């Protein structure tokens, strides 16, 4: 039995548990989540005048703290407690009417959830049960939850220990791995003059002796041929010093392997030259798309990542001594072509990425089916029927563009990750996933009530695609730790897939192995050419500054600006996001409207979506437009708010942040949930004190009250009070704004740059490539299982949706 429950039953708190259970059974609400449970317990403590510390420190208080859900089956007078005693773990207990505690299986819990929504019928037989657990039995597993997300460090330790335990087998694997690598048919690293791992060890020592006699800065090309005679091809370094350093690392790895040496060596191997970044949905272009439906941070992320990856690949090739081979790394962003492109370049099949030498956007059209649908933008919730044929068509074009296979495929978001799976499966390429956001976490009970939401969101397809892609990936990149496994009191996005029901479709008893070393936290960076500190006057263009200042505060243009400020000199409270429910811009407006004190000190400036319902093709955006106008009228915010319905380029976005900072403004990110939060980084590096949602990634970006502030966007009064407190402090102490501003800038430069990101990502790709080559992990059975899920569950449902689209 749970230690938490046993402690209650063995103490005086047993009677209080009885009392609380009595209160629970009187609740109309039959399914209580953590906040509901805590509120009910708080009411219980007040009602029965419990001591102050009872809520937190009693045995019952501890049990309630770790209880994530309580389900009340009224006809049996039974309560089910789902307890999360530590991160990434779950215990399930049934408390019967006669106060007996019984442990429940995951299968029983899923049946119980089905019963709760009247979707359980034992007379119809069992439901399809998905269990990915057995496929991870043969791979190493992390033990300590705090090391989740540090997969590559764990894998390095594991691999080096294997080298130590069975040196002959693993040195043979290393030798075979070094023989693999080529560039356009040219052999790299070692040639057939080295015929065995034993000979490799001997020749490395000879090569070290030879190279150590040369001057450090001597070019590799000068002594290339003597090294080739010893068995060493290009790839070891561009100078004698670099070659010697790489050979010494290999020598040390052969003689006394350790994790750091293994990572240092594998990270230098020239094995990645061609990368595909899949970002399928939305409007993907370099100008004029941000703020359109389904188009925001992901586009910024992928474009910046592409440029940074290409630059890093070029640097790596030079350091490896491959200049003489005319190596030209190439990065392709794979997205969909939109024929009716609404003035954007989304109808161009191929577009070079600005500021790059060989990074491209490749747009592949969807097969027509019904041109009325496929020639236009398609919502990410409706996109699913086209992904398989899109992947098939994209494969041909990628092979032509690269003149061969890519070395790495990185998926973005659920649809891009599914396409990455289909491509990687066909091409035999390493697959990396980036979720950005898993929709399941955004919509409460979205899996439990999926049938009610299917017409609008098609979650059966989305969640099935998530399960396929996250298990298929060789490695997964997340922006934060909590994206994977949450916090001590909240479940992570990936963790939410561990155990779930899709009533009348399937049960997932083990959907993802959270302790797998495939998970790695690699936060994105900021585009430093567009976003930089407001006090960096040398980089700023005065005309841009004046233009944006006028647009934000004084320009009268009813076509794209709503609202005129009575007093433009007030401190600006600023936010910039799409107008959708989760981004919660309307919630910020309501927060501002409810606080007279906040209105006295500040103006509210919003850059958000469109101004008119008829201009939007997105249902959620239309709802939010109506709600924002209603909020402005309800709280009479005229003269205190400016709403800009504009789409800004990245350069202009950077100017906007800096103009707000010129006036010692504040940035507020009020999302109900934010997987990471690129706008937070952009605001912070610009020097803006930032208030950001406590739900999601911002908890790991901001250090509360040091370089920014957390807010609970569901508590409007508390949020307003925190901002007012900050603004008041700034008025009392003119240096306070500057202190927070400077610390925000420092936080980004030390932790969130693209250089840090791409160096880590490429290191991961090389190490996981080495692991997959050398391990005895047989992924084929897992991949076959995933294919079955794709063809038997996903594809038939996608076909039904396609039939609906064809009839439009």
User: Nearest Cα to 456, choosing from 448, 466, 446?
Assistant: 446
Question: Is residue 490 helix, strand or coil?
Answer: strand
Q: Which helix (H) or strand (E) holds 506?
A: strand 506-510
How does residue 625 score in pLDDT terms, banded at 50, 70 and 90? Answer: very high
Whether residue 771 lies inside any domain: the answer is yes
Judgement on whether residues 491 and 600 belong to the same structural domain of the protein: no
Alpha-carbon distance of 475 to 496, in angstroms, equals 19
With residue 177 as reference, give the H or E element that holds it.
helix 167-180
Residue ranges making up the domain that contains 211: 163-180+190-232+236-266
| pLDDT mean over 507-512 | 97
In a domain? residue 742: yes
CB 170 within 8 A of CB 507: no
Angle at 370 between CA 365 and CA 374, to 5 degrees: 35
Per-residue pLDDT tens digits for 647-685: 888 889 999 999 999 999 999 999 998 878 889 999 999
Compute the distance between CA of residue 597 and CA of residue 602 in angstroms, rounded to an integer: 9
Q: 268 in the Ramachandran plot: left (φ > 0), alpha (ψ -120 to 50) or beta?
A: alpha
For the segment 683-690, the average pLDDT, to the nearest whole number, is 97
Do the Cβ atoms of 381 and 462 come closer than 8 Å? yes
- Of 677, 494, 673, nearest to 87 by C-alpha is 494
Residue 485 in this model has a pLDDT that exceeds 90: yes
Structural contact between residues 589 and 637, judged by C-beta atoms closer than 8 angstroms = yes
**Residues 399, 306: one domain?**
yes
| pLDDT at residue 647, as a whole number | 83
Q: What's the pTM? A: 0.85
pLDDT confidence of 122, banded at 50, 70, 90?
confident
- 56 and 38 together in one domain: yes
Domain membership of residue 701 (yes or no) is yes
Distance between CA 320 and CA 249 in Å, rounded? 14
Burial track 309-329 (b if 16+ CB lie within 10 A, e otherwise): bbbbbbebbebbbbbebebeb
The tens digit of pLDDT for each residue in 124-172 reads: 778 999 999 999 987 889 999 999 999 999 988 888 887 778 888 888 8
Ranges 36-40, 394-398, 505-509, 587-591: which has the least confidence:
36-40
Q: State whether 455 and 548 are in the same domain.
A: no
Tell me, yes or no, whether 683 lies in a domain: yes
What separation in angstroms does the CA of 211 have from each of 187, 219, 248, 262? 21, 11, 11, 22
Pull the structure tokens for residue 180: 């693999």
Name, of 86-95, 332-341, 430-439, 553-562, the range with top average pLDDT: 332-341
Cα–Cα distances (Å) from 549 to 213, 252, 557, 668, 686, in that order, read 62, 59, 14, 19, 15
- Of 158-167, 175-184, 328-337, 342-351, least confident by mean pLDDT is 158-167
Domains identified in the chain, total number:
4
* Residue 617 confidence (pLDDT): 81
Mean pLDDT of 249-276: 93
105 and 92 in contact (C-beta within 8 Å)? yes
| pLDDT of residue 194 exceeding 70 | yes
**Domain CATH number, residue 58:** 3.10.450.330
Q: With left for phi above 0 and alpha for psi between -120 and 50, is residue 125 left, alpha or beta?
A: left
Q: What are phi and psi of 133, to 5 degrees?
A: -50, -50
Q: With beta carbons less than 8 A apart as the criterion, state whether 486 and 700 touch.
A: no
pLDDT digits (tens, 9 = 90+) for 415-428: 999 999 999 999 99
**Same structural domain for residues 448 and 594?**
no
**Quick one: pLDDT at residue 650?**
83
Contact between 631 and 593 under an 8 Å Cβ cutoff? The reply is: yes
* Mean of per-residue pLDDT scores for the chain: 93
pLDDT tens readout for residues 511-524: 999 999 999 999 98
Residues 569 and 688 in one domain: yes
Same domain, 351 and 483: yes
Judged against a pLDDT cut of 90, whether residue 444 lies above it is answered with no
Q: Taking 70 as the threshold, does the pLDDT of residue 720 lie above it? A: yes
User: HSE (CB half, 13 Å, CA atoms) of 516?
Assistant: 29
Q: Could you tell me which residues are beta bridge partners of residue 601?
A: none
Confidence at residue 1, expressed as pLDDT on a 0 to 100 scale: 58
Task: Indicate whether 672 and 547 sit together in one domain.
Answer: yes
> CATH number of the domain that 170 lies in?
1.20.120.1230
The phi, psi pair for 591, rounded to 5°, reads -60, -45
Which is nearest to 574 in space by CA: 556, 596, 548, 611?
548
pLDDT at 123: 72
Q: What is the pLDDT of residue 777?
A: 59
Q: Strands of 714-800 (E only): list them.
A: none
pLDDT band at 776 (very low <50, low <70, confident <90, very high): low
Nearest to 678 by CA among 538, 482, 464, 526: 526
Whether residue 394 sits in one domain with residue 305: yes
Q: How far is CA 468 from the centre of its chain?
A: 17
In this structure, are 253 and 303 located in the same domain? no
Per-range mean pLDDT, top range of 113-127, 595-609, 775-789: 595-609
Q: Is residue 134 part of a domain?
A: no
Plot region of 436 (φ>0 → left; ψ -120 to 50 → alpha; else → beta): left
Q: At what angle are helices 259-266 and 151-165 packed, to 10 degrees?
A: 110
HSE-CB of 137 using CA atoms within 13 angstroms: 8
Supply the pLDDT for residue 290: 85
Domain boundary among 736, 752, 768: 752
Handedness of CA 249, 253, 257, 261 (dihedral sign): positive
731 vs 703: CA distance, rounded Å: 23
For residues 436 and 358, which has the higher predicted lDDT (pLDDT)?
Answer: 358
Same domain, 361 and 431: yes
Q: Give whole-number Cα distances, 362 to 347, 402, 418, 599, 788, in Å.
A: 10, 11, 18, 47, 30
Is residue 604 one of the residues assigned to a domain?
Answer: yes
Q: Residue 116: inside a domain, yes or no?
A: no
With cut-offs at 50, 70 and 90, classify the pLDDT of residue 75: confident
* Tokens at 696, concatenated: 């999601």
Task: Please state whether 422 falls in left (phi above 0), alpha (psi between -120 and 50) or beta.
Answer: alpha
Alpha-helical segments (H) within 91-141: 106-116
- Cα 534 to Cα 751: distance, rounded to the nearest angstrom: 19
User: Helix %, strand %, coil % for the chain, to 5?
Assistant: 50, 15, 35
Q: Same domain, yes or no, for 248 and 356?
A: no
Indicate the SS3 state at residue 593. helix
CA distance 427 to 689: 47
CATH number at residue 437: 3.40.50.2000
Mean pLDDT across 530-542: 92
Q: Does residue 788 lie within any of the structural domains?
A: yes
Query: Which of 734, 752, 770 is the last residue in one of the domains?
Result: 752
Q: How far apart are CA 192 and CA 198, in angstroms?
A: 14
Q: What is the DSSP letter of 793?
A: I
Which of helix, strand or coil describes residue 562? strand
Percent of the chain having pLDDT more than 70?
100
Domain boundary among 727, 752, 777: 752
Confidence of residue 376 (pLDDT cuts 50, 70, 90): very high
pLDDT over 80 (residue 799): yes
């Amino acid at each position: 039995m749970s230690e938490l429950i046993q402690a209650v039953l063995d103490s005086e708190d047993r009677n209080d548990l009885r009392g609380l259970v009595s209160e629970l059974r009187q609740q109309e609400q039959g399914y209580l989540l953590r906040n509901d449970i805590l509120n009910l317990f708080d009411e219980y403590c007040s009602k029965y005048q419990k001591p102050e510390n009872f809520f937190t420190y009693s045995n019952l208080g501890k049990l309630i703290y770790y209880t994530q859900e309580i389900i009340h089956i009224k006809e049996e007078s039974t309560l089910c407690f789902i307890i999360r005693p530590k991160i990434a773990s779950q215990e399930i207990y049934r408390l019967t009417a006669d106060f007996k505690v019984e442990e429940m299986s995951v299968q029983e819990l899923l049946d119980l959830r089905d019963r709760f929504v009247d979707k359980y019928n034992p007379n119809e037989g069992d439901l399809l049960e998905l269990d990915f657990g057995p496929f991870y039995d043969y791979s190493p597993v992390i033990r300590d939850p705090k090391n989740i997300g540090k997969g590559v460090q764990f894998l390095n330790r594991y691999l080096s220990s294997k080298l130590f335990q069975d040196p002959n087998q693993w040195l043979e694997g290393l030798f075979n791995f070094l023989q693999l690598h080529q560039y356009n048919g040219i052999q790299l690293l070692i040639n057939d003059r080295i015929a065995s791992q034993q000979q490799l060890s001997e020749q490395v020592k000879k090569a070290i002796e030879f190279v150590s006699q040369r001057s450090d800065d001597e070019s590799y090309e000068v002594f290339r041929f003597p090294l080739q005679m010893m068995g060493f091809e290009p790839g070891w370094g561009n100078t004698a010093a670099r070659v010697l350093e790489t050979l010494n690392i290999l020598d040390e790895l052969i003689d006394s392997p350790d994790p750091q040496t293994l990572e240092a060596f594998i990270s230098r191997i020239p094995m990645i030259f061609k990368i595909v970044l899949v970002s399928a949905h939305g409007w993907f272009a370099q100008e004029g798309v941000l703020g359109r439906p389904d188009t925001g941070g992901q586009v910024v992320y992928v474009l910046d990542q592409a440029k940074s990856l290409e630059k890093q690949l070029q640097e790596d090739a030079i350091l490896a001594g491959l200049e003489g081979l005319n190596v030209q790394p190439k990065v392709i962003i794979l997205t969909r072509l939109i024929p009716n492109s609404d003035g954007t370049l989304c109808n161009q099949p191929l577009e070079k990425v600005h500021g790059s030498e060989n990074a491209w956007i490749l747009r592949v059209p969807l097969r027509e089916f019904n041109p009325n649908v496929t020639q236009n933008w398609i919502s990410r919730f409706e996109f699913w029927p086209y992904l398989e044929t899109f992947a098939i068509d994209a494969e041909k074009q990628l092979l032509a563009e690269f003149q061969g296979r890519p070395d790495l495929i990185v998926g973005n978001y659920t649809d891009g990750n599914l396409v990455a799976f289909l491509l990687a499966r066909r091409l035999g390429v390493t697959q990396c996933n980036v979720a950005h956001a898993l929709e399941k976490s955004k919509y409460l009970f979205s899996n439990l009530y999926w049938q009610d939401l299917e017409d609008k969101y098609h979650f059966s397809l989305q969640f099935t695609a998530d399960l396929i892609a996250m298990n298929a990936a060789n490695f997964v990149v997340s922006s934060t730790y909590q994206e994977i496994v949450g916090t001590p009191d909240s479940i992570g996005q990936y963790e939410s897939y561990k155990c779930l029901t899709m009533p009348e479709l399937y049960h997932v008893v083990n959907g993802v192995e959270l302790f797998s070393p495939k998970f790695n936290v690699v936060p994105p960076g900021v585009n430093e050419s567009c976003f930089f500190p407001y006090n960096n006057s040398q980089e700023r263009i005065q005309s841009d500054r004046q233009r944006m200042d006028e647009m934000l505060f004084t320009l009268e243009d009813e076509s794209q600006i709503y609202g005129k400020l009575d007093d433009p000199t007030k401190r600006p409270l600023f936010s910039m996001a799409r107008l959708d429910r989760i981004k919660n811009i309307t919630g910020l407006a309501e927060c501002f409207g409810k606080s007279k004190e906040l209105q006295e000190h500040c103006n509210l400036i919003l850059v958000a979506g469109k101004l008119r319902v008829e201009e939007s093709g997105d249902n959620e955006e239309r709802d939010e437009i109506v709600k924002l106008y209603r909020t402005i009228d309800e709280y009479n915010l005229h003269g205190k708010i400016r709403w800009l319905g504009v789409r800004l380029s990245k350069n202009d976005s950077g100017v906007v942040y800096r103009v707000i900072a010129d006036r010692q403004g504040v940035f507020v990110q009020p999302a109900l949930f934010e997987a990471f939060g690129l706008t937070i980084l952009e605001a912070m590096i610009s020097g803006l004190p930032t208030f950001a949602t406590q739900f999601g990634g911002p908890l790991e970006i901001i250090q509360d009250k040091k370089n920014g502030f957390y807010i609970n966007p569901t508590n409007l009064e508390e949020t307003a009070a925190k901002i007012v407190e900050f603004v008041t402090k700034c008025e009392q102490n003119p240096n306070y704004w500057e202190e927070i501003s400077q610390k925000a800038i420092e936080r980004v430069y030390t932790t969130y740059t693209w250089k840090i990101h791409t160096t880590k990502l490429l290191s991961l790709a090389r190490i996981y490539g080495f692991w997959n080559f050398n391990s005895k992990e047989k992924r084929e059975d897992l991949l076959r299982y995933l294919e079955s899920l794709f063809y038997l569950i996903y594809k038939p449902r996608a076909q039904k949706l396609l039939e609906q689209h064809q009839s439009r």
